[in-house]
Amino acid sequence: MSQYDYLVVGAGLFGAVFAHEAALKGKKVKVIEKRDHIAGNIYTQESEGIQVHRYGAHIFHTSDKEVWEYVNQFAEFNHYINSPIANYKGEIYNLPFNMNTFNKLWGVVTPAEAQAKIEEQRSVFGDKKPENLEEQAISLVGTDIYEKLIKDYTEKQWGKSTKELPAFIIRRLPVRFTYDNNYFNDTYQGIPIGGYTQIVEKMLDHANIDVETGVDFFADREQYLADFPKIVFTGMIDQYFDYQLGTLEYRSLRFETEKLDMKNYQGNAVVNYTDDQTPYTRIIEHKHFEFGTQDKTIITKEHSKTWTKGDEPYYPVNNDRNNRLYKAYKQLADQQDKVIFGGRLGQYRYYDMHQVIVAALQCVRTEVK
Ligand code: FAD
Ligand code: UDP
């Protein structure tokens, strides 16, 4: 048996919060991470004085004061408010769907006019409960917005027809009858000044925590299981069980990053390409998350792709088939008590950062006595 109380597999946000809190409670924790750096998908790296979000744009947002105060222990946040725009064949629309979007699309000026327009377009469904993403989208914003801003973007992002996708995915986005371009409804929002990596660095900087990067749990799994009294696993739950019940679906991404010799490429941090011809879903211009004034700029084109074994599994695909399979894996997980499964991959949930923090704090409360 090792000197440690816990092995944490994965130095992402879930693993880091768990390790930090367990260490504060006097536990000895070893963290292993298969990538060559800590921080998982929230990893940021400075280049040209700009914090580059290596695994896609990350905006912290929450309405939970406790979570906001928790994360503010590890970084100071700026006042960035996410207001992405959509580019549909050269036409620019504000997101999320709000009076600016409706005005540009239909020329309507008042909320009542916008509501009447949507009501007319959604009447194709009557009062039927939306059963998939397509029905949900049309029922929320009508057919015009669905066709220009949702259908092709969603099919590029998920590689599936909107008819095969769950309705909840589109409900992540607010629909507002005010002229408000804030992508989130949450009370607190911002980007950590100096990037996200420092947050995880500070969480893991404790005498009771040892961290090793470039180490894959599966390279020595039996030894880890023998050596550690408890393991917190934040990798893919189906991989942990050798895919014995079947393979869960994930969506992977390819990031194409370029440094450009200009101050301002697109005038906004996030531009979504909502047509079906542009091969990527969005372009991130990192400096705008922190109001950067550098002479150069760095942009990342985000291409969505089918996940196959060996790719990074960025998104769980929470449709009925996968949720059922996940439940079966969860039953296997519940039949043993050595390994706790946490995070986006361990719990197969489309978690945002604030939700991961809540889940990890809850896990510590129940697990660490
Ligand atoms: P991860 O960050 O994936 O960490 C898991 C870690 O485990 C990884 O580092 C992985 O390498 C490691 N690992 C896996 N298997 C093994 C193994 N076998 N051995 C060793 N190590 C292993 N959230 C927001 O709140 N706001 C946003 O704007 C936002 N934007 C996002 C954009 C994109 C493109 C993506 C993909 C996610 C976004 N998120 C956002 C979600 C956010 O990234 C997650 O909620 C959070 O990072 C999940 O943390 P985690 O610890 O569960 O997972
Ligand atoms: N979406 C869309 N058009 C957009 C932006 C988002 O149709 O311009 C849909 C799409 O289905 C996407 C979902 O809304 O998967 C959730 O968007 P979000 O920005 O929350 O996705 P994430 O940042 O997690 O990729």
Sorted by sequence, the CB contacts under 8 Å of residue 229 that are 6+ apart come out as 1, 4, 5, 6, 338
Angstrom distance (rounded) from CA 281 to CA 155: 10
172 is an active site residue? yes
pLDDT tens per residue, range 33-90: 999 999 999 999 999 999 999 999 999 999 999 999 999 999 999 999 999 999 999 9
The amino acid at residue 3 is Q
Sorted by sequence, the CB contacts under 8 Å of residue 280 that are 6+ apart come out as 256, 273, 301, 302, 303, 304
On the question of pLDDT at 1 being above 90, the answer is no
Same domain, 159 and 90: yes
Same domain, 228 and 118: no
Tell me the average pLDDT across 202-210. 98
pLDDT tens per residue, range 123-143: 877 788 999 999 999 999 999
170, 302, 349, best to mutate for ligand 2 pocket (most atoms within 8 Å of CB): 170
On the question of pLDDT at 97 being above 80, the answer is yes
| pLDDT > 70: percent of the chain | 100
Domain contains 256: no
Domain contains 45: yes
Tell me the average pLDDT across 170-190. 98
Within a 10 A sphere around the Cβ of 47, how many other Cβ atoms?
A: 14
On the question of pLDDT at 100 being above 80, the answer is yes
Catalytic-labelled residue, pool 153, 176, 240, 290: 176
Nearest ligand 1 atom to alpha carbon 58: 28
The Å distance, Cα 3 to ligand 2 centre, comes to: 45
Domain contains 296: no
349 is an active site residue? no
Angstrom distance (rounded) from CA 28 to CA 30: 7
- Kindly state the tokens that stand for 16: 């880091």
221 is an active site residue? no
Domain contains 345: yes
Tell me the average pLDDT across 315-323. 97
Domain boundary among 170, 196, 221: 170
Please report the pLDDT score of residue 364 as a whole number: 98
HEC profile of 297-322: EEEEEEEEEECCCCCCCCEECCCHHH
Domain contains 266: no
Range of the domain at 209: 6-80+188-247+316-367
Same domain, 242 and 320: yes
The Å distance, Cα 86 to ligand 1 centre, comes to: 25
Same domain, 18 and 76: yes
DSSP annotation of 168 reads: G
The Å distance, Cα 34 to ligand 1 centre, comes to: 13
Please report the pLDDT score of residue 278 as a whole number: 98
The Å distance, Cα 39 to ligand 1 centre, comes to: 8
The Å distance, Cα 49 to ligand 1 centre, comes to: 24
Q: Whose CA is nearest to atom 25 of ligand 2?
A: 157
- For residue 352, give the ligand nearest its CA: 1
CB-side neighbour CA atoms (13 Å) of 312? 13
Please report the pLDDT score of residue 125 as a whole number: 78
| pLDDT > 90: percent of the chain | 98
Angstrom distance (rounded) from CA 32 to CA 16: 11
Average pLDDT over the chain reads 97
Please report the pLDDT score of residue 175 as a whole number: 98
Same domain, 242 and 342: yes
350 is an active site residue? yes
Same domain, 55 and 104: no
Angstrom distance (rounded) from CA 187 to CA 92: 27
55, 58, 186, 309, best to mutate for ligand 1 pocket (most atoms within 8 Å of CB): 58
Q: What is the CATH number of the domain that holds 11?
A: 3.40.50.720
Domain contains 273: no
Nearest ligand 1 atom to alpha carbon 354: 25
Instruction: Give the confidence band of 312 by pLDDT, cuts at 50, 70, 90.
Output: very high
Secondary structure E strands in 120-213 = 188-190, 209-213
251 is an active site residue? yes
Buried b (16+ CB within 10 A) or exposed e, 181-198: bbbbebebbbbbeebbbb
Within a 10 A sphere around the Cβ of 71, how many other Cβ atoms?
A: 23
Ligand 1 touching residue 10 (CB < 6 A): yes
Main-chain phi, psi angles of 175, to 5 degrees: -120, 125
With beta carbons less than 8 A apart as the criterion, state whether 38 and 251 touch. Answer: no
The Å distance, Cα 294 to ligand 2 centre, comes to: 29
User: Number of folded domains in the chain?
Assistant: 2
Same domain, 163 and 89: yes
282 is an active site residue? yes
- For residue 269, give the ligand nearest its CA: 1
Q: Which residues form the pocket of ligand 2, taking CB atoms under 6 Å from any ligand atom?
A: 86, 95, 149-150, 153-154, 157, 169-170, 172-173, 272, 274
Angstrom distance (rounded) from CA 220 to CA 222: 6
Task: Classify the phi-psi angles of 142: left when phi > 0, otherwise alpha if psi is within -120 to 50, otherwise beta.
Answer: left
212 is an active site residue? no
